[in-house]
Amino acid sequence: MPIKIKRGWELPDSAATSEDVFRSRRRLLKAAAAGPILLAAPGLLAGCDEAPSPSAQMAATGTSDAAGAADPSTSLYPVERNPRYVLDRDISPEDLATTYNNFYEFGSSKNIWKKAQDLPIRPWRVAITGMVETPMELDIDDLLGKMPLEERLYRHRCVEAWSMAVPWSGFPLKALVDLARPLGSAKYLKMVTFQNPEVAGGQKASWYPWPYVEGLTMAEATNELAFIATGLYGKPVPKQNGAPLRLAVPWKYGFKSVKSIVTFEFTDQRPRTFWEEIQASEYGFWANVNPNVPHPRWSQATERVLGQDQRLETQLYNGYGEFVAGLYAGLEGEKLFM
């Protein structure tokens, strides 16, 4: 039986919530009152809420817990920027990058940042399991103490055809792989998000295959670009952006960059990922950004940059071909770019 699932971020870009609409719901409501056509645009009203007030904005980008507890990693940031990774565009405004999010655990709209504050991020245990010499479990602050922290400016291209450019802080995923000491037989790294429907109401929606799972090949996971982000804009990464640690793989569509990770599992089986499980005809394992391969329901040729009116042309591998194109040599038979 076909199940109709409402997924805001799968809308054609023309129908998806633009951040200026998102930031001005009053204007939108007035416009909607003027005619029923706007109201009918799917995801538009469902995904919108009030534009954040200045005090709300502080909560969106601040460093204290919903319960008021300070994040113990605050003093680690800012960290030194690695000059190797440069942008071809301005850094996106912090207030947009931290209030226009995809985090289905907290709902399918872009405006989940307030709800995400309910996520407890201390204590936070990270399990390293599967095909490794010695499985281990670490406390996030112990892990942070072991990792070489740096800042990187990365582009981020969502499959919905919006994009941003942000300063992530964190460490190369390869440093975690080295710590884990995987067996030679491990072929993939599977990463899993927390599961806690009590605080993440979206996880009560039983038609989604929770928890959120993503995966990379070992070659992808050890590529220099693969990054675990623990900070953003020189502060600990906000909850809505995937605290206390999330993946950033800028050559792939944003859905690969799994948030709030609790498990890193090394395996010889290709993980079946969250969106692949939901709709394999539209979302595959590789998900490399490619302007020449449209999503089955919309074009990927251009992107709307958060905070800008103009659309930019999308680049193959999101412009990171010099780092990653070699990973895909010989894989031409694969469904590479979805």
- Give the range of 40-48, 114-122, 216-224, 252-260 binding ligand MTE by CB under 6 A: 252-260
Among 105, 151, 220, 276, binds ligand MTE (CB under 6 A): 105
- Give the range of 37-45, 60-68, 256-264, 311-319 binding ligand MTE by CB under 6 A: 256-264
Query: Tokens in use for 22?
Result: 């998102």
Residues 208/211/215/218 CA torsion (nearest 10 deg): -160
Which residues are 164's β-sheet partners?
A: 156
Among 22, 77, 103, 251, binds ligand MTE (CB under 6 A): 103
Q: Residue-wise over 218-250: b if at least 16 C-beta within 10 A, else e?
A: bebbbbebbbbbbbbbebbbbbbbbbbbbbbbb
DSSP assignments along 110-144, one per residue:
S--HHHHTT---SS-EEEEEESBSS-EEEEHHHHH
* Residue 286 touches ligand MTE, criterion: CB under 6 A: no
Binding-residue pattern over the window 125 to 164 for ligand MTE, x denoting contact by CB under 6 A: ---------------------------------x------
Query: Tokens in use for 65?
Result: 């817990």
- Give the range of 10-18, 41-49, 99-107, 215-223 binding ligand MTE by CB under 6 A: 99-107
Shortest distance in whole angstroms from residue 131 CB to ligand MTE = 23
Among 124, 171, 188, 212, binds ligand MTE (CB under 6 A): 212
Binding-residue pattern over the window 162 to 201 for ligand MTE, x denoting contact by CB under 6 A: -------------------------------x--------
Contacts of 332 (CB under 8 A, 6+ apart): none
Other CB atoms closer than 10 Å to residue 8's CB: what's the count?
A: 20
* Residue 300 touches ligand MTE, criterion: CB under 6 A: no
Amino acid at 307: G
Which residues contact ligand MTE by CB under 6 A? 9, 101-105, 158, 193, 212, 241-242, 254-255, 257-260
